[in-house]
Chains A and B, each alone.
Chain A
């Protein structure tokens, strides 16, 4: 049994979710594998500390009274609803007592009144069609060129270069992830062992890079990319932990998750360099413009 599968079973065993025969196989493996024995110890320690040292808290006493008040407000009809109900009831009383011609005359009067109000109180003139000049658009910042001002902060330039380097790394990572996701998406529900092993291996490689990738993105404040990588991590983890012969539900569930998160679209349509480059250039340009404006004051 491979170590990765053993580790997964160790984790499940700590939650009482393995069969006796599965655990016997794991125990046999652990006897000759120091790495997995250490993993068992580490997982056990982690589980114990969370169960033992994370106390249970009670919500405060007033929570229910707040909920009850809000429920009461939901159940009480609003003032507008009560007014409408009253008008409806009054209208019903009037209509029932009167003859048909009178009712028609009343309806005609109401309609005339509405038409009068509409034409005398409109805020705009109907005979003046909207022209483009009638609508003022806010001034747009032009994308800024990199200024040659000697007072321009060189550390910003350094930051941009660092970001560019990280973006390139992430782009390579995303390309590989995109290929992997496509393989999963196009795989059959009853994929063979070799196919599963191949995608699992690719996923494990990518997972190893994910931690560092997330760290770099966080430090560089590349938020959009960071978000995509986090979503990817979840899928990669699920793929990496597929059984040798996964059941069709697992494969279908993975496919559904990929589609749900639009990950393939995000990887393809998000032209990452352009996205981050535009943001940085706009930021740099806006900062430079603000500086110039301040100097004029």
Chain B
């Protein structure tokens, strides 16, 4: 994600305590960060709580960011860590891993107003498909999941993803490959229907 020059200025202003500048940054990033957290956790309600935590933390630590151009990768790294922290605190009894959280199949996503015009039968199928895909994502180990979400679903380059997750490009490549292998195995029966 290339940082445009006015975004660098916003980061600088926000570092000085300018809340309006920080709000503009929030508006730019809220949707991609929210969707990243949502796909990591698989739970819509909790994702908003984590989104709040992320931006409050960003605000508190903005003074430690050396270069405005690193804002985006830093933001996503904090989002990933907060998602894992949340899931660790929330974990179900007798589990010890984010990957054993209750799958999203039990939960329906609330679709937004723009989709309310579609007919009810299609809407249900769409929700079911989303639930299926989310459940498949939930089964991926956390770092593999994060790499797939950022590299494939959100469309960041491997280089950007490596900065966001603090790993090498080779790691990102192998994790995305692994994610595809596991997901295609998991979803193959559904594709064959």
Contact = CB atoms under 8 A, between A and B. Distances in A.
B177 A12 contact: yes
B103 interface: no
Interface stretch (A53-61, A116-124, A268-276): A53-61
Given A50-B152, A56-B31, A68 B19 contact: yes
Given A54-B133, A55-B130, A57-B112, A15 B151 contact: yes
Interface in B113-136: 115, 126, 129-130, 133-134
Contacts of A74: 56, 59-60
B96 A224 contact: yes
A172 to B, nearest CB: 22
A241 B153 contact: no
Interface stretch (A107-115, A188-196, A227-235): A227-235
A71 B100 CA distance: 33
Nearest to B111: A55
Contact of A230 (B27, B97, B115, B176): B97
Interface in B31-53: 31, 34-35, 38-39, 44, 47-48, 51-52
A178 interface: no
A3 to B, nearest CB: 12
A46 B19 CA distance: 42
Interface in A222-258: 223-224, 226-227, 230, 233-234, 237-238, 240-243, 246-247, 249-250, 253, 257
Contacts of A82: none
B95 interface: yes
A259 interface: no
Contacts of B126: 53, 55
Given A43-B180, A241-B173, A63 B51 contact: yes
B74 interface: no
Interface residues of A, number: 54
Contacts of B141: 230, 233-234
A70 interface: yes
A47 interface: yes
A74 B111 CA distance: 34
A58 B100 CA distance: 26
Chain B CB count within 10 A is highest, among A7, A16, A237, for: A237
Given A17-B157, A63-B52, A58 B112 contact: yes
A218 interface: yes
Contacts of A250: 168, 170-171
Contact of A46 (B48, B55, B184): B184
A187 interface: no
B144 A234 contact: yes
Contact of A8 (B55, B171, B174, B187): B174
Chain B contact patch, size range: 35 or more
B118 to A, nearest CB: 11
B96 A63 contact: no
A198 interface: no
A226 B176 CA distance: 22
Given A47-B180, A241-B174, A56 B167 contact: no
Contacts of A71: 19, 22, 56, 59
A224 to B, nearest CB: 7
A148 interface: no
A56 B35 contact: yes
B94 interface: yes
A272 B64 CA distance: 42
B128 to A, nearest CB: 10
Nearest to A42: B184
Contact of A11 (B153, B180, B187): B180
B152 A67 contact: no
Given A7-B181, A53-B126, 6 more contacts: A11-B173, A15-B151, A54-B153, A55-B126, A56-B31, A64-B23
Interface of B: 17, 19, 22-23, 26-27, 30-31, 34-35, 38-39, 44, 47-48, 51-52, 55-56, 59-60, 94-97, 99-100, 109, 111-112, 115, 126, 129-130, 133-134, 141, 143-144, 151-153, 157-158, 167-168, 170-171, 173-178, 180-181, 183-184, 187-188, 191
**A-B complex: 9 closest residue pairs judged by Cβ atoms:** A241-B174, A11-B177, A46-B184, A42-B184, A223-B96, A59-B34, A253-B168, A237-B178, A250-B170
